[in-house]
Amino acid sequence: MKPPYDATSHYDRVTEAWTLLLGEDLHVGVFDDDGEDLATATGRLTTLMVEAAQIGEGLEVLDVGCGTGAPACLLAAEYRARVTGITPSAVGVSAARARAAAAGVADAVFEQRDGTESGFPDASFDRVWELESSHLMRRRDRLVAECGRVLRRGGRLALCDFVLRRPVPFDEVRRLRERLGLLRDVFGDARMEPLDRYEELAAANGLHVDRRLDLTAETRPTFRRWIENADRHRDALIGSIGESGWSDFVEACKVLASFWDDGTLGYGLLAAVKG
C-alpha cells in the first residue's frame, strides 16, 4: 500500500530531478514553432507573465510557489523588483536561496510558507506572481482571496497554469482513474479548474481581470521536450528517482499530451488589478 500523499514531501523528493526534466524554470514553455528549444519557450512564458504583471523597478512582488527561484531571481536582477518567493518545500527554499546567492541577487528572498495562508500583513505587495502553482492548491478560493488580501490597491495579480477545458463526468473520471493516478504520482495531487473559475474568484475578491490568454496550442510541444530531457538524462534520473520514477514520468507526459489533444486540459494566463 502506498503511503498517504503529502505535497511537501513529494516536492522535496522530486525537485532535483525536475530541474533535469523540466529545465531550470520548472514550468511549461510557450513555443513559436515545434523546433524551438525548451529554454527559449519557457523564457517566453516568463516574459508574458512579466508583461501581464507589469513588473517594474522597486515594486514589491510576492512569488507564490516559487519553485527553485529562477523567475524570482530574474525579476529582481533584470527588472529591479524586490521579490519574496514562498513555497512549502524546504528543498525548494534551499535551492532558491543558493541560486540567488550564486547570482549575487540580494533583492530575491525565499521563505517556507503556504500560499493560501501566507501570514503577511494586509496590503504588503504591489504584485502577486503565480506561475504554475495554483493547480496544486485544493482551496483555490482561499488562494485567490489571499492574493487579493496581500495586494495593495492598484496592485496586480498575474497567474498562469494548467486549466480544465471541458467538464469531465464522474463516469469518465472512473474510466480514467489509472491515468489520473499516474499524473498524481508524478506531478502531484493537482486539481484543474476552468479559467472562468479563476476569473470568478478574482471578481469575488475585488480583482478586475484585464488580460486573459488561452495558451493551450502554444504549450503543447512542452511534453515532447520533457520526454527528450528524460531520455538525455536517463542515467542521472534513475539514480535520483529510480527506474520506475523515470518510466512513470515519460508515460505521464504522454497522458498530458493526450489530454491536450482531446480538449480536456490546456493552459491559460490571466491578470487582474485590485480596485
Q: What is the pLDDT of residue 34?
A: 86
From residue 270, give the alpha-carbon distance in Å to each of 193, 206, 212: 13, 15, 4
- The confidence score (pLDDT) of residue 13 equals 61
Report mean pLDDT in 10-residue bins for the chain, 275 residues. 50 76 93 94 97 98 95 97 95 94 97 96 98 92 97 98 96 94 92 95 97 98 98 95 96 98 98 97
Provide the whole-model pTM.
0.92
Q: What single string gives the DSSP state of each residue in 123-179?
A: T-EEEEEEES-GGG-S-HHHHHHHHHHHEEEEEEEEEEEEEE-S---HHHHHHTHHH
Domains present along the chain, CATH in parentheses: 7-274 (3.40.50.150)
Tens digits of residue pLDDT in 32-44: 998 999 999 999 9
Q: What angle do CA 17, 23, 28 make, to 5 degrees?
A: 115
Sheet holding 82-87, edge to edge: 108-112, 82-87, 60-64, 125-131, 151-164, 265-274, 207-214
